[in-house]
Amino acid sequence: MEEIKLAKKFYVDEYQDSVLYSSLAKAEKDRKLKEEFTRLASIEAKHAEFWRDFLKRRNEEVPPAKVNKLKVFSVRLLRKLLGPGAVASLLEMGENSAIEKYYLFLTSFELDEEEKTEVAKVILDELEHERFFAETKRRFHAENVRDLVLGMNDGLVELLGTVTGLSAVYVNSPRIVGISGLIVGVAGALSMGIGAFISVRSQRQVNESVRRRMEVLFKVSPERAREEIFEKLSEVGIPEEVAKEVAERLSSNHEAIMKLLVGEGKGENEIRSAVYTGLAYLLGVLFPVLPYFLASNSLVALPLSIVLAGTALAVVATVIALLSGISLKTKIAEMVSTGLGAAFLSYLFGRLMESLFHISTL
C-alpha cells in the first residue's frame, strides 16, 4: 500500500533528521543555534516515534533506521566551509519538501481523527522549523547561497557549451579554444555579477522609495496612511471588516507598517551578491576550460572537459539533493542531462559553422 510505503519513509527520514540535528548541535559553537538544533532533534525524534507507532498499529514492520552518514558529513562540512546561514538555507529546502509530502498524505489517505490531529501537528512543527531556518538565514546573511549555486551552474553549463562548440571548429588548436573559453568566462562572470548587483540594488531602492513615501504619508496625512494600509490588506484577500480594524490598530505603529509593506532591514547586499555570483561563475568556468590547456588537440580535451563538468554538476546536484530531500538520482539526472544536452547541441552548431564557413582553414 502507498500509505504504508510513505509512512515507512517518513519514519526513516524523521529519525535521520533527528540524528542530523543532534550532530549539528554537538558541533555548533553559537549558543543560540546549539539550543535550537537540540530542540529540533527532540521534535524530529517525536515525529519518528509517531510514524513508528502508526506502523505498529497496522501490524506493519518498522524499517531499520540507519544513519545517513554522507548527509551528516556533507552538512557539517558545509557548516565549516560556508557558515550556518548556508546550511540553514539548504535545510530549509528539506522542510519545504516535507511539508508538501505530509499535507499530501493528510489529504490523500483515510486516517482516524487522532492520526489526523497528529499529522497536522507534524506539519505545524515543520512550518515552525522552516521559520527558524528563514530567521537563521537572515541572521547570518545566507541569501547568497542561491547566487553561489546558480552562478556555478551557469558557468559550468554555458562554458561547457562554448568550448564544445569551439572544439568542432578548432580541432587542432586546443589553446585557442581554452583562451576563447576564458575570455567568454570572464565576460560572463562580469555580466552575471553586474546583473546581480543591479537587480539587488534596484529592489532595495524600490523598497527605500516605498518606505520614504509611507513615512511622508504618515506625517502629512495619517488618515490617508490608514487608507493605504487598508487597501494593501484588502488586496491580499483579508475581509473588509478585519482589514479596517487592523489598519486602525496599526496606523500608530509606523515601524510595524514598514515591515508589513516593504519588509524589514536593509535586505540583501548588492556588492556581496555580485561578488558571490561572479566568483561562483568563474569557478564553474574552470572545469570545462582547463583540459584545453593540457591536451594536444581539442578532440582529446573535449571528453575530459565533459567528464570534469559533468562531475562538478553531479556534485552540486548531490549536495542539493541530500540537503533538500529531493531524489538524488532525479536531481543528478536533471542537472547533468541539461548540461550535457546543451553541450551536444553546441557541438552540432559548431560543426555546422565549420562546414559552412571553413573557419579552421582561415
In this predicted model, what pLDDT tens digit does every residue of 212-243 receive, in sequence order?
877 787 778 878 777 877 887 788 788 888 88
Q: Is residue 189 located within the same domain as residue 240?
A: no
| Mean pLDDT, range 68-92, rounded to an integer | 76
9 vs 4, 6, 102, CA distance in Å?
A: 9, 5, 11
Q: Which domain holds residue 290?
A: 145-202+269-361
Q: Is residue 90 located within the same domain as residue 23?
A: yes
Q: Is residue 212 located within the same domain as residue 352?
A: no
Higher pLDDT, 253 or 302: 302
Contact 65, 44 (CB under 8 A): no
Q: Is residue 243 located within the same domain as residue 157?
A: no
HEC profile of 233-256: HHHCCCCHHHHHHHHHHHCCCHHH
* Residue 134 predicted with pLDDT over 80: no
| Mean pLDDT, range 103-120, rounded to an integer | 93
Q: Which residue has the cell 575570455?
A: 183
Contact partners, residue 128, CB within 8 Å, separation at least 6 = none
Q: Is residue 101 located within the same domain as residue 232?
A: no
The predicted pLDDT at position 11 comes to 96
* Residue 361 predicted with pLDDT over 70: no
Q: Is residue 221 located within the same domain as residue 344?
A: no
Domain boundary residue among 238, 262, 286?
A: 262
* Residue 183 predicted with pLDDT over 60: yes
CA distance 254 to 174: 63
Domain boundary residue among 139, 155, 179?
A: 139
CA distance 36 to 20: 13
Nearest alpha-carbon partner for 344 in 311, 312, 310, 316? 310
Indicate the length of the chain as a whole number: 362
63 vs 4, 48, 309, CA distance in Å?
A: 11, 11, 38
* Residue 56 predicted with pLDDT over 90: yes
The predicted pLDDT at position 80 comes to 80
The predicted pLDDT at position 198 comes to 93
| Mean pLDDT, range 2-29, rounded to an integer | 92
Contact 204, 270 (CB under 8 A): yes
Range of weakest confidence among 25-34, 43-52, 74-83, 258-267: 258-267
Nearest alpha-carbon partner for 75 in 279, 331, 318? 318
The predicted pLDDT at position 267 comes to 59
Which pairs from 338-343 meet CB under 8 Å and 24+ separation? 338/157, 339/156, 339/157, 339/160, 339/309, 339/310, 339/313, 340/160, 340/306, 340/310, 342/157, 342/160, 342/161, 343/160, 343/161, 343/164, 343/306, 343/309
| Mean pLDDT, range 167-177, rounded to an integer | 92
Q: Is residue 162 located within the same domain as residue 300?
A: yes
Q: Which residue has the cell 525524534?
A: 45
| Phi-psi map region of 175: left, alpha, beta (phi>0 left; psi -120 to 50 alpha) | alpha
Q: How confident is the model at residue 89 (pLDDT cuts 50, 70, 90)?
A: low
Number of domains in the chain: 3
Q: Is residue 21 located within the same domain as residue 48?
A: yes
237 vs 42, 150, 223, 231, 260, CA distance in Å?
A: 37, 34, 22, 10, 15
Higher pLDDT, 236 or 317: 317
Nearest alpha-carbon partner for 315 in 301, 302, 328? 328
Q: Is residue 185 located within the same domain as residue 293?
A: yes
* Residue 265 predicted with pLDDT over 60: no
Q: Is residue 26 located within the same domain as residue 104?
A: yes
Q: How confident is the model at residue 251 (pLDDT cuts 50, 70, 90)?
A: low
| Mean pLDDT, range 57-62, rounded to an integer | 94
Domain boundary residue among 139, 169, 188?
A: 139
CA distance 121 to 124: 5
